[in-house]
Amino acid sequence: MKILGIETSCDETAAAVVEDGEQILSNVVASQADLHAQYGGVVPEVAARSHIEVMLPVIEQALAKAKLDWDDIDGIAVTYGPGLQGSLLIGSLAARTLAVLKHKPLYGINHLEGHVYANYLAADTRPPFPYLALIVSGAHTQLVLFKAHHDYQLLGQTLDDAVGEAFDKVSRILGLSPTQGGPAIAKAAISGDDHKYQFPKAKTERSLDFSYSGLKTAVLRQAQDLAGGDFRMPSFDVHAKLSQQQINDIAASFQRAAIGMLVDRTIKALEQYQPKAVVIGGGVAANQLLRVELTKKLPIPVQFTATNLCTDNAAMIAAVGYHYALAGKEIDPQQMRVEPSLQM
Ligand code: KG4
Ligand code: ZN
């Protein structure tokens, strides 16, 4: 079964064709990162306008790269939440229209489920149920227990900032990339001392929840202190007064603390729920330290999303779509609505 996936929840316009939920026939991602860099972050209106411009060419390219035409496509899967409302609207409207015009069944997909099912793509093994999923992206940090396809339970999540958001904010404080914070911090950390600064580990009331806003503020205070200013010093002014070594040391110490919290909570969830495997998905799953630490510290198999499929893409949406198709979870194109705050 060949599913066309469409994903526009944030600043990537993506379309892909996946066969039987596992084999990628094409995977096209048009990133808007350069477009938003000049504003220091994603601007929703700019994102939506850009999706409009490239949505159809991206879909056409996905079909062409797979060497398929519409007759070969068995269904369309599209992200309907969570994400930016304007961005979600463009992708879902394209999918709804095409479903009607081309007479294809339509499947509405939760973006977060997509990050988990990215683990079924280009993978040697399928995770056995029940498995624990750690979803770590720019907007979410969650632990979810998957008991079967379509049957899962949210165990814990961030109470404030997402881990990827913390990477991006700290990157801006340190004068590194405003839109590719994770990779920029990871790169700076290679030349830094990760024990130079002791950033606090947040305690959360429910032991499987996360919190990252305190860590981000602790980084800012440390940077202001090193820059010779007090807490009124604007965050965008600080980095110009830091040495390269100080920036690298803060990046390394922050990364150690941020990843430490993920590892900590994952171990707690393992002890409480005893899953058969752990899968990691979302943009932050590309982080090398996270991969090393979890593999070292977890007593059961850990499966990471392939590095090139960690950040937003439509192949992962098509992978979920396949299981929706098997379960007959089709949605009426006239009835589909976007849900910007959709939960797991
Ligand atoms: O899943 P994703 O592409 O978008 C959302 O659904 O949010 O995740 C993007 C996030 C960004 O915050 C980015 O800084 C982070 O993933 N990220 C990383 C790395 N690569 C991307 N964070 C840490 N280390 C990385 N290597
Ligand atoms: Zn994502």
The answer, yes or no, to whether any atom of ligand 1 lies below 6 A from the CB of 281, is no
| Ion ligand 2 contact residues with beta carbon within 5 A | 137, 312
> Pocket of ligand 1, candidates 137, 163, 294, 305: which has the most ligand atoms within 8 Å of its Cβ, to mutate?
137
Q: What is the mean pLDDT of residues 264-279?
A: 97
Mapped onto helix, strand or coil, the DSSP state of residue 252 is helix
- pLDDT at residue 152, as a whole number: 96
The answer, yes or no, to whether any atom of ligand 1 lies below 6 A from the CB of 83, is no
pLDDT in tens, 274-304: 999 999 999 999 999 999 999 999 999 899 9
The answer, yes or no, to whether any atom of ligand 1 lies below 6 A from the CB of 286, is yes
What phi and psi values does residue 96 have, to the nearest 5 degrees? Answer: -65, -45
The answer, yes or no, to whether any atom of ligand 1 lies below 6 A from the CB of 84, is no
The answer, yes or no, to whether any atom of ligand 1 lies below 6 A from the CB of 287, is yes
Question: Which residue from 293, 240, 321 is spatially nearest to 19, judged by alpha carbons?
Answer: 321
Residue 147: band (very low, low, confident or very high) from pLDDT cuts 50, 70, 90:
very high
Residue type, position 27, single letter: N
Question: Which residue from 159, 173, 269 is spatially nearest to 203, judged by alpha carbons?
Answer: 159
Cα 249 to Cα 172: distance, rounded to the nearest angstrom: 15
pTM above 0.85, yes or no: yes
- pLDDT at residue 124, as a whole number: 81
Is the pLDDT at 203 greater than 90? The verdict is no
Q: Name the DSSP letter for residue 178.
A: S
Q: Where are the alpha helices (DSSP H) in 274-308?
A: 288-297
Nearest CA to ligand 1 atom 26: 287
Nearest CA to ligand 1 atom 13: 182
Compute, in angstroms, the gap from residue 306 CA to the centroid of ligand 2: 14
- The beta strands (E) that lie in the chain are given as 2-7, 12-19, 23-31, 75-81, 106-110, 131-136, 141-148, 151-157, 277-281, 302-304
Cα 273 to Cα 269: distance, rounded to the nearest angstrom: 6
pLDDT in tens, 240-264: 999 999 999 999 999 999 999 999 9
Could you identify the residue written with the tokens 């991006």?
A: 168
CB 111 within 8 A of CB 9: yes
- pLDDT at residue 36, as a whole number: 84
Atom of ligand 1 nearest to the CA of 255: 23
- pLDDT at residue 323, as a whole number: 98
The answer, yes or no, to whether any atom of ligand 1 lies below 6 A from the CB of 167, is yes
Q: What is the mean pLDDT of residues 175-185?
A: 92
pLDDT in tens, 94-135: 999 999 999 999 999 999 999 999 999 987 888 999 999 999
Question: Which residue from 124, 51, 67 is spatially nearest to 314, judged by alpha carbons?
Answer: 51
